[in-house]
């Protein structure tokens, strides 16, 4: 029935109407000089219909009640005043919140991953879905499935970290919550396909150098799971090239693997201006027609954010015989099928009443607060935390009182700031209708949170000290003065995220060093010289090489970019109202010269002892993947592996006990790692294959059992067959990738090829007990 409807529509379409369905327009292209929706511009640009409308709320600066009206007016025009009456898909950015005025701003994804709690991302994506649907949006350009192992790359903050399993679990939960049953959901867009984060020199859009085995086992794996398990509705290409072929022009990636191997049935959308880049950046196309053909032939169905190449260029290409119309028909069918899945033909309009009932509600802010709390990682504590018995505190640093700096690059204020200041990259044209970043949600700074918690019982002094990037030290004197007058110093330092040139992290804000930006470390050193106890709070988008601070500070909190409720969350942890439970989703290097440094390296790489350390430095990370402290202690015991000898069809049960041996309640993230001890292809020294966050009251003990499917032990052999080989596998359970407390082994009796369907993608976990 669905196919019949699509074929019927396609048979009625002119070439121009087909081309319109695989294109898009920015919403501000439809505005008149006063910023109002223009009937004439809609007639000029939408008379043949349109595939997508780009960022009605995200690029207009309109509040939700205004943007929903704009969405409905555009749909009304398309339904009533175009020949075929086909509604448009409205897409928006929604990485850590719907990126529009008035929408809730959750912690950035690197922080969400630090929670090691998939329920957090599920709740967040569910709230995002409700807000987007309320304003008439149907597709979200998120989440990132990039496995990121180079912190020089500015977009590492947008990822779930360095590990394929951890990224896959969080992406899977995000996609399922955002899409729901699709007709009541928002189509997720998994990006960037593929290996975007592993660029040459850590530079955005630079070439990627990977062998096919690593490409498939690590970087394609997250997308494979998104397609086969989460049933993601949309894929976005990456800007980079792999072995000389830009991803936007790669038929091997976008058709052979994505469509033929994985049976993906959704749409592929171009990253903004990626088709343009085939011609003008990668320089493999002679003209627009050739670039359009390369993208369409490779498998890009929709050009975003506007139809520069999939418009007159396609018509000219068809008429000249350079582009077969059958390629256009193929993509049009996919677009129409997505619109059917989203229920757009049945319900193109949304209710404009009570739209604010979904925006930044108390329930939304509660989710944001809980997510921010769980994202915080305690990296060091000599016992000074939680804070107690203080009369005065000096709060110092560029990120202490600046709410804007709590936000990610793809949050509305920081993103739109770049538009307003005309500092956006070339791929994002500035809209003159954006006037300011005012009217957004309330952002709680860390100074706000501390002062609220102190409640006049503690004298809280504040000095900025310095800027994030500016080299001026003019504020040092005041910062040192208030430090000397106080019982304790809290230095809040780190990044400013965004697209603007003043940003130190985010898209296109790549770095050649991983030191604290500007003169911030010098500020911390001056504060240390006062002799007062020193707590450092990091508000940042990438791991820093902070060896001096790690050696000298009394305590270090990693807060990442914690969003609108970040100030409350940090204060809760500092004062002990919340016991930190976050774990690092990415390793912290000691120096930029170690990059890439990640836990799942090969036996001869990373931190192997074969050749020893660097001349100047240890090969070990400053803080390893999976690391994070608590205000209590946990004890692991009684490892049991059943069976000890297993057939391919079975699973392995790994059980153990975990006990809170401290005096307060806490949450421990238990982590399951596996190593293939001898294999025909070199294997990582350990790989994460399961994790769970376990809550334990003081003195409480629980039993944890992981059910590990044997096909999670698979890899690609010398002939690129996916296999599980017979042999011994080491099982490791512990508190981080370096702190594995329990070890055992299991033997696999026989070697077998793994079904390409790969029905099992994750371990399952059972937590029982509660004995004190």
Answer yes or no: are the C-beta atoms of 527 and 479 closer than 8 Å.
yes
Phi, psi of 219 (to 5 degrees): -85, -35
Structure tokens at 142: 């998120």
Q: Within 13 A of 459's CA, how many CA atoms are on the CB side?
A: 8
| Look-up of token digits 């820093």 | 544
Phi, psi of 721 (to 5 degrees): -90, 140
Answer yes or no: are the C-beta atoms of 326 and 318 closer than 8 Å.
no
Residues contacting residue 112 through CB under 8 Å, at least 6 positions apart = 96, 106, 120, 121, 124, 160, 170, 371, 375
Structure tokens at 90: 């409205």
Structure tokens at 6: 């699509």
DSSP string, 115-156: TT-HHHHHHHHHHHHHHHHHTT--EE---B------TTSGGG
Alpha-carbon distances, residue 191 vs 226, 233, 237, 496, 715 (angstroms) = 10, 12, 7, 24, 23
| Look-up of token digits 């003169």 | 519
Alpha-carbon distances, residue 356 vs 92, 368, 485, 717 (angstroms) = 18, 17, 46, 54
Q: Mark whether 510 is an active-site residue.
A: no
Catalytic residue, chosen from 271, 276, 448, 510, is 271
Structure tokens at 659: 């006990």
Burial class of residue 707, CB neighbours in 10 A (0-12, 13-18, 19+)? middle
Answer yes or no: are the C-beta atoms of 208 and 195 closer than 8 Å.
yes
What is the set of active-site residues?
271
């Amino acid at each position: 029935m669905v196919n019949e409807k699509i074929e019927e529509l396609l048979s009625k379409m002119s070439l121009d109407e087909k081309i319109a369905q695989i294109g898009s327009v920015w919403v501000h292209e439809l505005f008149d000089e006063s910023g109002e929706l223009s009937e004439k511009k809609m007639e000029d640009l939408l008379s043949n219909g349109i595939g997508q409308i780009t960022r009605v709320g995200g690029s207009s600066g309109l509040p939700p009640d205004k943007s929903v009206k704009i969405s409905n007016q555009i749909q009304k025009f398309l339904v009533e005043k175009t020949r075929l009456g086909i509604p448009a898909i409205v897409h928006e950015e929604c990485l850590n919140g719907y990126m529009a005025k008035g929408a809730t701003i959750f912690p950035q994804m690197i922080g969400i991953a630090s929670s090691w709690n998939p329920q957090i991302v599920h709740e967040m994506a569910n709230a995002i879905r409700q807000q987007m649907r309320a304003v008439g949006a149907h597709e979200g350009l998120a989440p990132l499935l990039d496995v990121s192992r180079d912190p020089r790359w500015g977009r590492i903050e947008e990822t779930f970290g360095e590990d394929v399993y951890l990224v896959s679990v969080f992406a899977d939960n995000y996609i399922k919550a955002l899409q729901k049953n699709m007709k009541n959901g928002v189509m997720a867009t998994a990006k960037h396909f593929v290996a975007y984060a592993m660029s040459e020199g850590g530079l955005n859009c630079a070439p990627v150098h990977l062998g096919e085995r690593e490409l498939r086992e690590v970087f394609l794996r997250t997308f494979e799971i998104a397609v086969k398990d989460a049933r993601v509705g949309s894929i976005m290409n990456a800007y980079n090239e792999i072995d000389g072929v830009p991803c936007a022009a790669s038929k091997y990636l976008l058709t052979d693997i994505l469509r033929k191997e994985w049976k993906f049935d959704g749409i592929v959308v171009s990253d903004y201006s990626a088709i343009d880049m085939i011609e003008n950046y990668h320089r493999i196309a002679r003209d627009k027609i050739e670039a359009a053909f390369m993208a369409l032939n490779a498998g890009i169905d929709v050009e975003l954010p506007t139809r520069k190449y999939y418009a007159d260029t396609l018509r000219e290409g068809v008429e000249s015989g350079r582009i077969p119309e059958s390629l256009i028909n193929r993509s049009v069918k996919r677009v129409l099928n997505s619109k059917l899945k989203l229920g757009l033909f049945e319900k193109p309009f949304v209710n404009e009443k009570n739209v604010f009932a979904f925006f930044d509600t108390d329930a939304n802010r509660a989710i944001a607060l809980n997510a921010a709390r769980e994202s915080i990682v305690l990296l060091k504590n000599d016992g000074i935390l939680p804070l107690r018995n203080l009369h005065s505190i000096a709060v110092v640093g560029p990120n202490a009182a600046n709410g804007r700096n709590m936000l990610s690059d793809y949050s509305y204020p920081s993103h739109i700031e770049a538009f307003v200041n005309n500092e956006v990259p070339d791929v994002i044209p500035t809209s003159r209708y954006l006037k300011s970043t005012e009217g957004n949600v309330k952002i709680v700074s860390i100074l706000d949170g501390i002062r609220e918690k102190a409640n006049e019982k503690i004298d809280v002094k504040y000095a900025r000290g310095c800027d994030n990037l500016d080299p001026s030290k003019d504020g040092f004197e005041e910062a040192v003065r208030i430090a000397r007058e106080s019982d304790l110093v809290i230095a809040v330092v780190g990044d400013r995220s965004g697209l603007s040139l003043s940003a130190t992290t985010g898209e296109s804000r790549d770095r050649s060093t991983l030191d604290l930006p500007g003169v911030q470390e010098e500020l911390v050193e001056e504060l240390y010289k006062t002799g007062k106890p020193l707590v450092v709070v990091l508000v940042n988008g990438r791991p820093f090489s902070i060896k001096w601070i790690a050696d000298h500070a009394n305590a270090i909190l990693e807060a990442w970019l914690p969003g609108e409720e970040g100030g409350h969350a940090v204060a809760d942890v500092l004062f002990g109202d919340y016991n930190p439970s976050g774990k690092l989703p990415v390793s912290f290097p000691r120096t930029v010269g170690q990059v890439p440094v990640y836990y799942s390296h090969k036996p001869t790489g990373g931190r192997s002892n074969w050749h020893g350390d660097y001349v100047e430095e240890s090969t070990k990370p400053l803080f390893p993947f999976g690391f994070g402290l608590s205000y209590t202690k946990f004890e692991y015991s009684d490892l049991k592996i059943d069976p000890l000898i297993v057939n391919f069809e079975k699973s392995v049960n790994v059980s153990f006990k975990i006990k809170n041996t401290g005096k307060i309640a806490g949450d421990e993230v238990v982590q399951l790692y596996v190593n293939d001890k001898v294999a025909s292809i070199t294997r990582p020294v350990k790989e994460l294959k399961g994790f769970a966050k376990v809550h334990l009251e003081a003195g409480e003990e629980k039993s944890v059992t992981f059910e590990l499917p044997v096909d999670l032990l698979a890899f690609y052999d010398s002939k690129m067959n996916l296999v599980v080989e017979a042999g011994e596998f080491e099982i490791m359970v512990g508190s981080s990738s370096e702190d594995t407390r329990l070890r055992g082994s299991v033997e696999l009796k026989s070697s077998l090829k793994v079904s390409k369907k790969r029905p099992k993608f994750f371990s399952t976990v059972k937590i029982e007990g509660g004995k004190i």
